[in-house]
Structures are given as structure tokens and as C-alpha cells.
Amino acid sequence: DTGVSQDPRHKITKRGQNVTFRCDPISEHNRLYWYRQTLGQGPEFLTYFQNEAQLEKSRLLSDRFSAERPKGSFSTLEIQRTEQGDSAMYLCASSLVSDTYNEQFFGPGTRLTVL
């Protein structure tokens, strides 16, 4: 399978714990995005990487969130000291930016439940 993969698919944690999610993009894609989505809303942008460089972070992203993409391949998203408001679906997407096109391919998502 050459699509975007995410791990784990589901995570249940207690408030205050740290969690880490992994995303493996399509291998030739140079951009990787993280989104958060809650019920009835569109994806909310969190951050993105072009190769290994993190180019933008949402102003809504608190200091408890950090993302890395070492070597420009897979990426991890860590949430420290989780809060109940962090419960959401975390989506990863990758794309190959060209002059005219930037279709994003999504992974299946990681559903986080904070108790």
C-alpha cells in the first residue's frame, strides 16, 4: 500500500498524559500536513512541513503541541499534558507541490479521546 498511513488509529488517554502520533506520507511527497477535526467541522490546520523544515504553525496551536519530521520522511505529532478539549480526530496529509497543483492525500486519521 503506497498511501498515507497513521499510527495508532485510536488512542484513549487520561487527562495530563502525553501522547505521540506517527504519520508516514506517500514516499515522493515533499509536503506533510497535520490537521485536527472535530465533529461537524472541516479540518483545522495545525502545521506543515516542506521536506524536513516546519514552515508554518497555526496560531491556535498551543505550546503543548509539537511536531517533527526528521529526514523529511515520517512525522510525529506530540501533545503534552493532554486536556479533554484535545479530543478529536488528528489527520495527516501529504502532497507533492507543483506549480499548478497541490492535491492533498489523507491518512485514515488518529482518533484521540482524553478522559
Partner 1 sequence: GQNIDQPTEMTATEGAIVQINCTYQTSGFNGLFWYQQHAGEAPTFLSYNVLDGLEEKGRFSSFLSRSKGYSYLLLKELQMKDSASYLCAVSDSNYQLIWGAGTKLIIKP
Q: Are 57 and 35 in contact (CB under 8 A)?
A: no
| Residues 63-102 within binding reach of partner 1 (CB under 8 A) | 91, 95, 97, 100-102
- Alpha-carbon distance values, 115 to 69, 86, 105 (Å): 28, 10, 30
Q: Are 93 and 77 in contact (CB under 8 A)?
A: no
- Of residues 82 and 110, the one with the C-beta less far from partner 1: 110
Which amino acid does the sequence have at 115? L
| Residues 7-36 within binding reach of partner 1 (CB under 8 A) | 31, 33
Is residue 45 a contact residue for partner 1 (CB under 8 A)?
A: yes
Give residues in contact with partner 1 (CB under 8 A): 31, 33, 40-45, 48, 56, 91, 95, 97, 100-109
